[in-house]
Amino acid sequence: MNDAGEGQQPVAVLAALRARPLAFPFTRWTPRCWAHLLGGALIGPPLLVTLAALLTLGLGLSAVGLGLLVLLALALAGIPVGAVERWRLRLVEPVPLPDPHSRLPGAGRGARLRTRLRERATWRELAHAVLTATVLAVPSLGFTLLLALSGAFVISPLVVWSLAPETVMLLPGHAVDGPLAALPFSAVGLAGLLLCAYAGALLTGAQVALARMLIGPRRDDLGHRVLELTRSRARLADAFEAERRRLERDLHDGAQQQLVALSMTLGLAEYELQGAGRASELVARARGEAREALEQLRGLVRGIHPQVLTDHGLAAAVDEVALRHPIPVAVDVALPGRLPALVESTAYFTVTEALTNAAKHGGASAITVHGRIERGRLVVRVTDDGRGGADPAAGAGLAGLADRAALLDGRLTVTSPAGGPTTLRLEVPCSAS
């Protein structure tokens, strides 16, 4: 990302000039710089006429209201000019300059217009268009004249030879009557081309630096977009947590209570049907299945969000999972206090997924879980001594956990060489309370 004065890549043409100053005029950069400056000389005058016409027409028609539309067009005129300038920069910049404007897929014309007028990049592009039409056009036109004159002098012997025996006036007061007499002019033209090589590089480098500052993306442009992305992530995480609580509450207060009532009803029926043979056996069987369904539902509710995690925090919840796990798990989770609910639930389900994978696919015989707060981030590592070779892209479990960590601006990494060990590392920004 380009940022004025911070973390910016060096201008390619200036870097090439510094690297090979003597050989620079004979490199590919010279014709590229010339083409870029000639393009600026061609664009400048018509752009100046267009901007001046829009300004004059907008001010003249402002009394009747139509001028506001013309002035609006003037304000937005820098956007297409900036796009053309970024395209022209490809001649001299190996890395294309990105579009500084935010993308608005599906937005209507009104929303697009309001957004563009609020963006700082729009006004910087307008400033660059004005500079292209005025300040930048002057050196480009002067360079074009110098280049054309130098080229004419270089081929002057050929021109004189083709027009012989007539006398050719190459400069006022300097007439030549033969190719040999034009050789000094050719030498001056070669010196002029050499000067154009270096002058073109310096002018192009200055224009590239100015274009990066005015028509390229800057971090201050992206500030509101980053803020909005952060807010949208927070809203999404909050919505996920609210939906999780609703689902847990519905299962606990709805389906779970109905299954309890069903089990009790079946128990009463079994009591009334004692000695009724086949009917009593079927009721007893139904009661057992209802009890089994209730246990499965309770396990599902605990899987959605275990109660120990809510009551006692991440360390206690991981200890409980480790006690129930079929493989020995050494837990070393030391936290200074409770963490935000979303951070705790993300870390908890990351640990449970890692433990499940180690038991089902890794062939592990020992697992360690380590958790600490390091520089304001919760860092959890789960390591097993299994066969390794885990592929995070092979299933949706780890991919879903990575997405969940990304919602909190965290990161999930998996290291699993063939033969093991496998280490799953979670980093999530957080603050303990």
pLDDT tens-digit series, residues 379-393: 999 998 888 777 666
4 has a pLDDT exceeding 50: no
Confidence of residue 209 (pLDDT cuts 50, 70, 90): very high
What are the contacts of 141-148 at 24+ separation with CB within 8 A? 141/41, 141/44, 143/37, 143/41, 143/196, 143/199, 143/200, 143/203, 144/37, 144/38, 144/41, 146/192, 146/195, 146/196, 146/199, 147/34, 147/38, 147/192, 147/193, 147/196, 147/200
pLDDT of residue 146: 92
pTM of the model: 0.52
b/e sequence 19-45, b meaning 16+ C-beta within 10 Å: eeeeebbebebbebbbebbbbbbebbe
Q: 161 to each of 3, 148, 181, 288, how far by Cα in Å?
A: 55, 20, 10, 113
The DSSP call for residue 273 is T
CA 9 from chain centre, in angstroms, equals 18
Report percent pLDDT > 70 for the chain: 73
Query: Which run of H or E residues covers position 427?
Result: strand 422-429
Q: Give the model's confidence band at 3: pLDDT under 50 very low, under 70 low, under 90 confident, else very high.
A: very low
Give the mean pLDDT of the chain.
79
Q: Report d(CA 60, CA 371) in Å as an integer.
A: 70
Can you name the residues that pair with 168 across neighbouring β-strands? 176
- Confidence class for position 28, pLDDT limits 50, 70, 90: very high
* 165: preceding bond cis by omega (within 30 degrees): yes
How confident is residue 133, by pLDDT bands cut at 50, 70 and 90? very high
For residues 334 and 315, what is the distance between their CA atoms, to the nearest angstrom? Answer: 7
Confidence tier at 7 by pLDDT (50, 70, 90): very low
The pLDDT confidence band at residue 164, using thresholds 50, 70 and 90, is low
Work out whether strand 367-374 and strand 329-333 pair parallel, antiparallel, or are unpaired: parallel
Which of 158-172, 200-214, 217-231, 342-356 has the highest average model confidence (pLDDT)? Answer: 200-214
Per-residue pLDDT tens digits for 69-99: 888 999 999 999 999 999 999 999 888 888 8
How far, rounded to the nearest angstrom, does the alpha carbon of residue 240 sit from its chain's CA centroid? 24
Question: Are β-strands 411-415 and 377-384 bridged in parallel, bridged antiparallel, or unpaired?
Answer: unpaired
Give the model confidence (pLDDT) of 355-379 as tens digits: 888 887 777 888 999 999 888 889 9
Q: Tell which wins on pLDDT, 404 or 128.
A: 128
Tokens 């600026």 correspond to: 40
Helix (H, G, I), strand (E, B) or coil at 414: strand
Mean local confidence (pLDDT), 403-425: 81
Residue with tokens 């070393």: 332
